[in-house]
Amino acid sequence: QVQLQESGPGLVRPSETLSLTCTVSGGSISSSYWTWVRQPAGKGLEFIGRIYSSGSSNYSPSLKRRATLSIDTSKNEFSLKLSSVTAADTAVYYCARYELGHFDYWGQGTLVTVSS
């Protein structure tokens, strides 16, 4: 059973960079797409980006300028960096596996608040 776990600071100051890591267990990260999705309070799900084990990545056009995904197959983990954050980036951030046209495994989600 594949399991994902997000980790990272729960509080980030405005204009700084949000950094999150997703650790994958129960399976290899060396295949499939690995993704980040977020949900601001009271709003819908938003795709941030996805990365393949080769390092190839795709991003939402609205976040492409600020988001960077990376992957470390030796540690079975992948990461998100979101620069120049504002209060609008406050959300629950999920990591998930994207396989065969759908998100099949998800992390539990981690709340990141942007505030001074």
Partner 1 sequence: QSALTQPASVSGSPGQSITISCTGTSSDVGSFDLVSWYQKYPGKAPRVIIHEVSKRPSGVSNRFSGSKSGNTASLTISGLQAEDEADYYCCSYVGIRSYLIFGGGTKLTVL
Which residues sit at the interface with partner 1, rule CB under 8 A? 35, 37, 44-47, 49-50, 58-61, 94, 96, 98, 100-104, 106-109
CB of 80 to partner 1, least distance (A): 15
What's the min distance (Å) between Cβ of 53 and partner 1? 16
State the nearest-atom distance from the C-beta of 102 to partner 1, in Å: 4
Cα 79 to chain centroid, rounded: 6
| Cα 10 to chain centroid, rounded | 14
C-alpha 48/C-alpha 37 separation (Å) is 5
Q: Which is nearer to partner 1, 42 or 116 (CB)?
A: 42
Residue 20 contacts residue 8 (beta carbons within 8 Å): yes
For 89, the 3-state DSSP assignment is helix
Residue number, 18 or 36, with CB nearest to partner 1: 36
We find the least distance from the C-beta atom of residue 44 to partner 1, in angstroms, to be 4
**Spatial contact of 98 and 105, defined as CB atoms under 8 Å apart:** no
Q: Measured in whole angstroms, how far is the alpha carbon of residue 61 from the centre of its chain?
A: 15
Nearer to partner 1 among residue 16 and residue 47 (C-beta):
47
Q: Between 16 and 99, whose beta carbon lies closer to partner 1?
A: 99
